[in-house]
């Protein structure tokens, strides 16, 4: 009897599989639109699924051009006038001489000399002898989110062929298994190509490639080649066929089952100022392969699935619809034509979680603009770390969707910007100290800053053009992401060691950089520039809100540390300064058409100021609304701003599409930010509508978000927004179903969603009404929850003990919780 090869005897209808009936086109467009992504945080790959010729493009996260090794690299800093230019600009702005101030902004530019770009590692191909694509039947390629495994299967001349792929985090290898039930087996050739123009050689059962980063473009090395060493190696770890090494290829003949392993490494280390580990990448590769080769496929698979499911399975979300029986591209196609599908919406949600797990794991760099997947040496926006919304958005879902292990790479990365960020702070704003030789002293925490564009080599300078480069609060915004790790987990030691120092040092810088506004006397950031939108002004809402939140979080964190016995690591005089400065910050303002002002001056500008000042009305960035989301400054309790924020989001969404198609007005990530904001504004239907617009207009066949082009941020922002529709916890109370859209109200369930305070929640609803609710407390403390169904509820523990309710009313239940206990709410 023939062995049944494919895990899916029929097209997969389990609701957590992306599947397709034809291979991805073998082109860059096919890579972006259709090929399926796998990854383990360090190594990523895209599977095209060709029939006679499989194509797999792969990456290793630290393969970057730029940084040390590039002549003239200065970490993006062009000057060091210790804040002289900045002060001159501040004086012009104080006199409201905007044109002259703008003119002088050139003096706050940095450079891109050592910026570099995330690089493509290479491709490999499996070329099958005697396979004619036109003779293949029952072709399916899929990506199963439940096991983080991609496969390709088809029948050919009466036999089945199956290829399975995953990237194991425990073993740090890409695993590829090729099987057939054909008695004569398969004969195929494994070929590799280096995108860096490296050396390739084959010997025995191995194919290896090595070299340095050349940034190979147009047939020659690029300007940011940096001598970073890299290596990758394939081994045929098991086969019942015969392996023959060719010149740059391995041929496997007559094999029914073949197991190929690939790993890759560089000599990068995230350590300022050299960023090199000193370890030969080929040695790293060989050590890794040795451990993986000692395991069978089943052992590798079991370890991979166990590791992955420990994260992925923690959260489930269902809204009442059976999984679809349509291939994913058809399902999306129908959705685009107006046939809503909750099955697709749920798949998208879980896929975003999958993408985050695949591109951000402890031990390697955080997810960049494209996560970990990049097929170019000159990718869009360098596939870098953009800190004026994108990197923040990528990490929005990590805590709420129960994936805290995805956050530490981001936390570590931000910490790594502190040392180079001191050079930028000293050079451009004069905060910090210098050594006897005149160089900047980076050894003590004197204040750090980063701007819009960052690489893996501490490029904290303000970009080569101030019109997008100058973003002094970019670092402050990242500290919000870091702090969320604490607010969700309440892990004080982690706060103390890994989060608080960066917050405090950022606040230290701001406490010296704020200046009194010439008209109101309030403290403002000056000069500032609303991201990508401008114009140059003092005290724009983007900077002011981020500084308000930084101060708020730092004061709160200091209090928690002192209460928890870690008062020694708090700079108390600084905290007193923050407390004194926070109420003096120029506040949020509501403008004359009911909006949240993006600039304090905007009501005095003609045509609502937008065009006459070169600022677009319909701009993709919503930098004035960060107090709504992800911050917690604007809540239903601040009703004036809460209502004004609705006016502002609606205004940003009111796009004159009839005039000219301009995707820059409403990119994928911009839709995601809008859907998050609508959820926070308790407008479930508007949030859902924006989500469906994102699926219709900003989603590729492989469910990647498209700006255009592909950026991971939109996937992640949408995922966070979906969670916000179901649970919010930014006000100190857990709100259940705060923005449930009509489309999902008939019935649904959530398991394992997280709330601030260390809570994990399971609940169900029917006809919009909460019908069951369980809370698991990972920390002791007080729990406050709100939902109309809770008015008359009572609570029991696992051992059926009744829990005393300390207060109720306004549909809020408050009760003490013990670490590790589960609470069952009875209606
Ligand atoms: C920001 C956005 C752009 C793009 C880039 C990577 O600067 O304004 O739209 O997403 O990041």
Ligand 1 site, residue 506, Cβ cutoff 6 A: no
Per residue in 745-759, pLDDT (tens digit) is 999 999 999 999 999
Give the Å distances, CA to CA, from 581 to 191, 243, 514, 584.
Answer: 62, 71, 9, 5
% of the chain exceeding 90 in pLDDT: 90
Please give the Cα distance from 467 to 187 (Å, whole number).
Answer: 56
- State the distance from the centre of ligand 1 to the C-alpha of 45, rounded, in angstroms: 24
Which pLDDT band, with edges at 50, 70 and 90, does 612 fall under? very low
Which pLDDT band, with edges at 50, 70 and 90, does 233 fall under? very high
Q: What is the pTM of this model?
A: 0.97
Kindly provide the residue ranges of all beta strands, DSSP E only, lying in 756-800, ordered along the sequence.
Answer: 759-766, 769-777, 781-786, 794-797
Ligand 1 site, residue 707, Cβ cutoff 6 A: yes
How confident is the model over 181-186, as a mean pLDDT?
Answer: 96
Preceding omega of 709 cis (within 30 degrees of 0):
yes
The ligand 1 atom nearest the CA atom of 468: 7
CA 561 to chain centre: 28
For ligand 1, pick from 531, 652, 711, 715 the residue to mutate: most ligand atoms within 8 Å of CB.
711
- State the distance from the centre of ligand 1 to the C-alpha of 305, rounded, in angstroms: 35
Inform me whether the pLDDT recorded for 613 exceeds 60: no
Please give the Cα distance from 827 to 813 (Å, whole number).
Answer: 12
Query: What confidence score (pLDDT) does residue 10 get?
Result: 60
The ligand 1 atom nearest the CA atom of 532: 8
Q: Residue 273 corresponds to which tokens in the numbers above?
A: 């100022």
Give the Å distances, CA to CA, from 92 to 9, 440, 521, 523, 537.
Answer: 71, 28, 16, 16, 10
Please give the Cα distance from 230 to 246 (Å, whole number).
Answer: 22
Beta strand 781-786 with 734-736: parallel, antiparallel or unpaired? Answer: parallel
The ligand 1 atom nearest the CA atom of 369: 6
Query: What confidence score (pLDDT) does residue 615 get?
Result: 60
- At CA 456, angle to CA 450 and CA 462, rounded to 5? 30
Q: Which spans in 564-683 are helix H?
A: 572-581, 639-653, 668-680
Mean pLDDT (the chain) is 95
Residues in Cβ contact with 462 at an 8 Å cutoff, skipping those fewer than 6 apart: 76, 108, 109, 110, 424, 428, 451, 452, 469, 470, 471, 472
Choose the weakest-confidence range: 2-6, 127-131, 236-240.
2-6
Cα-only R_g, the chain: 27
Beta strand 316-319 with 822-826: parallel, antiparallel or unpaired? Answer: unpaired
Q: For residues 693 and 671, is the Cβ–Cβ distance under 8 A?
A: yes
Bigger pLDDT: 459 vs 790: 459
Residues in Cβ contact with 335 at an 8 Å cutoff, skipping those fewer than 6 apart: 341, 344, 692, 695, 696
Q: At what angle do helices 639-653 and 668-680 cross, to 10 degrees?
A: 150
Ligand 1 site, residue 286, Cβ cutoff 6 A: no
Query: What confidence score (pLDDT) does residue 660 get?
Result: 66
Per residue in 472-523, pLDDT (tens digit) is 999 999 999 999 999 999 999 999 999 999 999 999 999 999 999 999 999 9
Q: For residues 84 and 58, is the Cβ–Cβ distance under 8 A?
A: no
Which pLDDT band, with edges at 50, 70 and 90, does 626 fall under? very high
Which pLDDT band, with edges at 50, 70 and 90, does 601 fall under? confident
- State the distance from the centre of ligand 1 to the C-alpha of 381, rounded, in angstroms: 8
- State the distance from the centre of ligand 1 to the C-alpha of 390, rounded, in angstroms: 7
How confident is the model over 583-600, as a mean pLDDT?
Answer: 94
Q: Report, in this order, helix, strand and coil percent for the chain, each rounded to 5.
A: 35, 25, 40
Please give the Cα distance from 585 to 366 (Å, whole number).
Answer: 33
- At CA 787, angle to CA 781 and CA 789, rounded to 5? 115
Bigger pLDDT: 661 vs 223: 223
Query: What confidence score (pLDDT) does residue 669 get?
Result: 98
Per residue in 708-738, pLDDT (tens digit) is 999 999 999 999 999 999 999 999 999 999 9
Per residue in 70-117, pLDDT (tens digit) is 999 999 999 899 999 999 999 999 999 999 999 999 999 999 999 999
Query: What confidence score (pLDDT) does residue 602 get?
Result: 85
The ligand 1 atom nearest the CA atom of 669: 10
| Buried/exposed 528-541: b ≥16 CB within 10 Å, e otherwise | bbbbbbbbbbbbbb
């Amino acid at each position: 009897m023939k062995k049944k090869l494919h895990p899916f005897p029929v097209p997969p209808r389990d609701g957590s599989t992306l599947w397709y009936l034809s291979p991805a086109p073998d082109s860059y467009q096919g890579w972006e639109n259709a090929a399926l992504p796998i990854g383990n945080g360090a190594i990523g790959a895209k599977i095209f699924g060709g029939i006679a010729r499989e194509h797999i493009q792969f990456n290793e996260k630290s393969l970057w051009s730029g940084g040390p090794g590039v002549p003239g690299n200065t970490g993006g800093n062009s000057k060091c006038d210790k804040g002289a230019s900045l002060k001159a600009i501040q004086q012009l702005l104080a006199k409201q001489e905007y044109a002259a101030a703008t003119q002088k902004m050139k003096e706050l530019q940095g450079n891109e000399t050592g910026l570099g770009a995330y690089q493509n590692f290479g491709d490999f191909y499996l070329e099958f002898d005697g396979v004619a694509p036109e003779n293949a039947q029952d072709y399916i390629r899929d990506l199963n989110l439940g096991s983080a495994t991609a496969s390709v299967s088809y029948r050919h001349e009466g036999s089945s062929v199956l290829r399975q792929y995953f990237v194991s985090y425990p073993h740090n290898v890409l695993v590829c298994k090729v099987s057939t039930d054909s008695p004569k087996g398969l004969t195929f050739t494994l070929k590799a190509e280096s995108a860096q123009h490296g050396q390739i050689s084959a010997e025995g059962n191995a194919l290896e490639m090595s070299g340095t980063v050349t940034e190979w473009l147009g047939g020659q090395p690029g300007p940011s080649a940096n001598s970073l060493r890299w290596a990758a190696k394939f081994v045929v770890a098991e086969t019942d066929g015969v392996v023959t090494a060719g010149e740059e290829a391995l041929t496997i003949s007559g094999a029914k089952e073949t197991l190929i392993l690939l790993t890759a490494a560089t000599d990068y280390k995230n350590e300022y100022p050299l960023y090199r580990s000193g370890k030969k990448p080929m040695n790293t590769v060989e050590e890794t392969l040795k451990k993986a080769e000692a395991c069978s496929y089943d052992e590798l698979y079991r370890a991979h699935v166990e590791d992955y499911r420990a994260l992925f399975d923690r959260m489930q979300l269902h809204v009442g619809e059976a999984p679809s029986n349509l291939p994913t591209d058809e399902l999306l196609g129908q959705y685009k034509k107006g046939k809503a599908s909750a099955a697709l919406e749920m798949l998208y949600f879980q896929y975003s979680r999958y993408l985050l797990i695949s591109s951000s794991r402890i031990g390697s760099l955080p997810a960049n603009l494209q996560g970990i997947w990049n097929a170019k040496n000159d990718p869009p926006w360098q596939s870098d770390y953009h800190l004026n919304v994108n990197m923040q958005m990528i990490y929005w879902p990590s805590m709420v969707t129960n994936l805290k292990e995805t956050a530490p790479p981001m936390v570590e990365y931000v910490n790594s910007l502190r040392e180079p960020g001191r050079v930028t702070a000293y050079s451009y704003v004069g905060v910090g100290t210098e050594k006897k030789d005149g160089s900047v002293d980076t050894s003590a925490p004197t204040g750090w800053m980063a701007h819009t564009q960052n690489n893996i080599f501490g490029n904290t300078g303000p970009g080569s053009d101030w019109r997008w480069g100058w973003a002094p609060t970019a670092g402050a915004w990242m500290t919000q992401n870091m702090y969320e790790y604490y607010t969700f987990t309440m892990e004080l030691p982690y706060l103390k060691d890994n989060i608080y120092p960066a917050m405090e040092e950022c606040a230290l810088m701001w406490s010296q950089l704020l200046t009194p506004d010439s008209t109101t006397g309030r403290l403002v950031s000056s000069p500032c520039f609303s991201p990508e939108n401008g114009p140059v002004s003092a005290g724009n809402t983007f900077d002011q809100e981020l500084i308000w939140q930084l101060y708020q979080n730092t004061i709160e964190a200091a209090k928690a540390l002192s209460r928890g016995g870690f008062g020694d690591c708090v700079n108390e005089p600084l905290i007193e300064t923050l407390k004194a400065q926070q109420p003096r910050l120029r506040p949020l303002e509501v403008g004359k058409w009911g909006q949240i002002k993006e600039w304090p001056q905007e009501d005095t500008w003609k045509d609502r100021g937008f065009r006459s000042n070169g600022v677009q009305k319909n701009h993709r960035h919503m930098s004035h609304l960060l107090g709504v989301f992800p911050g917690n400054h604007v809540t239903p309790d601040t009703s004036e701003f809460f209502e004004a924020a609705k006016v502002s989001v609606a205004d940003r969404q009111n796009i004159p599409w009839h005039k000219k198609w301009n995707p820059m007005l409403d990119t994928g990530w911009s839709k995601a930010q809008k859907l998050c904001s609508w959820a926070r504004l308790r407008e479930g239907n508007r949030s859902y509508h924006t989500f469906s617009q994102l699926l219709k207009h900003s989603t590729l066949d492989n469910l990647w978000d498209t700006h255009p082009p592909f950026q991971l941020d939109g996937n992640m922002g949408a995922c966070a927004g979906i969670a916000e529709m179901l649970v919010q916890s930014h006000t100190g109370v857990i709100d259940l179903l705060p923005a449930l859209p009509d489309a999902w109200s008939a019935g649904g369930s959530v398991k394992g969603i997280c709330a601030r305070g260390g809570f994990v929640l399971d609940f169900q609803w029917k006809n919009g009404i909460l019908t069951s609710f369980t809370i698991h407390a990972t920390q002791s403390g007080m729990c406050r929850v709100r939902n109309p169904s809770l008015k008359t509820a009572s609570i029991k523990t696992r051992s059926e003990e009744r829990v005393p309710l300390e207060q109720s009313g306004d549909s809020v239940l408050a009760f003490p919780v013990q670490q590790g206990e589960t609470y069952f709410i009875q209606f």
